[in-house]
Homo-oligomer: A and B are copies of this chain.
Amino acid sequence: MTTDERYMLQALAEARRAADAGEIPVGAVIVCDNTIVGRGHNLTETLNDVTAHAEMQAITAAAETLGGKYLRDCTLYVTLEPCLMCAGAIGWAQIPRIVIGASDPKRGYTSFIARPEGGASGATPFHPKATVTTGVLADECLELLRSFFQARR
């Protein structure tokens, strides 16, 4: 098991907490120096707040842990491709590495951004030097979402 998979399992554990609370199961952790400094899971229903996505909570938590709002030495692990809102927040926090589980073809940021990878003249929502890794434990991340929606039908 790779380090990325190990931390994605932690993000999956957060996603399961969301499912247990009746929330669409998405989870995130933020890692700095091999330590988890922020965790979050989707709580939009519970908090009655569209901004309460897993990534937003993890970013706020990590900033509090580290005592600074820029997370320049951190890696974000999230079970589902971030939406535009979360991609924007990740950019503001200057997180240099983003590791994604499953893709979100409908609401993921890559469906909206003209040039999601940035480049010479292209805009990216993230820091220009940030790297993005996709597909880490994608099947597990997707399966959790699938079984959540199936149980709700």
* Partner-B contacts on A (CB < 8 A): 44, 48-51, 56, 59-60, 63-64, 67-70, 83-89, 91-93, 111-114, 123, 125
Contacts and interface: CB of A to CB of B under 8 A. Distances in A.
Contacts of A86: 85, 88
Given A48-B68, A51-B92, A113-B114, 7 more contacts: A44-B69, A49-B63, A50-B70, A84-B84, A85-B92, A112-B125, A113-B113
Nearest to A60: B49
20 contacts: A48-B64, A49-B60, A49-B69, A50-B63, A50-B92, A50-B93, A51-B59, A51-B89, A51-B92, A83-B88, A84-B88, A84-B125, A85-B85, A85-B87, A85-B89, A85-B91, A85-B92, A86-B88, A112-B112, A114-B114
Q: How many copies does the complex hold?
A: 2
A59 B47 CA distance: 13
Contacts of A59: 49-51
